[in-house]
């Protein structure tokens, strides 16, 4: 049986990187398989320069931005995600198609139906489970205020609210696939326990 593919979604500061580490250890123990942690954009050898281009200064048109994120994903799929799954490793990835829908359609006004169709035509692997770390944008901003903001973080609260709302809609549209954790007021441990208790039914 191939490895399990899990994606972590949520606005910046939601706790994706924090939970990815915990989840990787838990999944490795539970399945006895190597577990690869990765992220988007840029989670492939050579991807850092594309990540820098996409997250720093340059302001792209919405369509260019969409296509750049998808080009990044295509490379990530071919170089990291599929090879790892084929070697029977589990894969945990921070951000996936739902980020593209939440930011480029929900956040940046591209037509959601068009974005979904373009993504669908890419035929990227479908995660077994998608985890949404749902957190009020105000809390997220408080957590990440010491970070140097990237281009999306710099757009602040209005963008984060639209993105958070778009994520929530996707999670409620696909209840069998999404584990949505309401992280408001929860410690890192609480959040992890909530994820693990829900994952036990699948893994």
Residues that bind Mg ion (CB under 5 A): 16-17
Shortest distance, position 150 Cβ to Mg ion, whole Å: 11
Contact 96, 132 (CB under 8 A): no
Q: Cα(89)–Cα(36) distance, rounded to whole angstroms?
A: 7
Residues 63-92 that bind ligand ADP (CB under 6 A): none
Contact 194, 134 (CB under 8 A): no
Mark residues 121-160: x for contact with ligand ADP by CB under 6 A, - for none.
----------------------xx----------------
Q: Cα(174)–Cα(123) distance, rounded to whole angstroms?
A: 18
Shortest distance, position 88 Cβ to ligand ADP, whole Å: 27
Q: Which one of 18, 31, 128, 193 is in contact with ligand ADP (CB under 6 A)?
A: 18
> Judged by CB under 6 A, does residue 10 bind ligand ADP?
yes
DSSP assignment of 88-126? T-EEEEE--HHHHIIIIIIIT---HHHHHHHHHHHTPPP
- Ranked by CB distance to Mg ion, the top (closest) residue is 17
Between helix 112-122 and helix 62-76 the angle, nearest 10°, is 30
> Judged by CB under 6 A, does residue 185 bind ligand ADP?
no
Which residues would be at the binding site for ligand ADP (CB under 6 A)? 10, 12-18, 143-144, 183, 186-188, 191
């Amino acid at each position: 049986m191939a490895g399990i593919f899990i994606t972590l979604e949520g606005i910046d500061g939601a706790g994706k990187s924090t939970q990815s580490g915990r989840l990787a250890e838990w999944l490795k123990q539970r399945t006895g398989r190597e577990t690869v942690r990765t992220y988007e954009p840029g989670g492939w050898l050579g991807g850092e320069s594309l990540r820098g281009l996409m997250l720093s200064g340059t302001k792209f048109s919405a369509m260019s931005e969409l296509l750049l994120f998808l080009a990044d994903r295509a490379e990530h799929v071919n170089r990291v995600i599929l090879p790892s799954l084929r070697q029977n490793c589990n894969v945990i990835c921070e951000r996936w198609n739902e980020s593209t829908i939440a930011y480029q359609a929900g956040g940046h006004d591209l037509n959601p139906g068009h974005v979904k169709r373009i993504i669908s035509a890419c035929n990227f692997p479908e995660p077994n489970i998608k985890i949404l770390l749902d957190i009020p944008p105000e809390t997220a901003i408080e957590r990440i205020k010491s970070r140097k903001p990237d281009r999306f973080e710099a757009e602040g609260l209005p963008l984060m609210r639209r993105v958070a709302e778009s994520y929530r809609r996707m999670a409620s549209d696909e209840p069998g696939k999404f584990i949505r954790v309401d992280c408001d007021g929860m410690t890192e441990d609480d959040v992890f326990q909530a994820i693990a208790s829900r994952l036990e039914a699948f893994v």
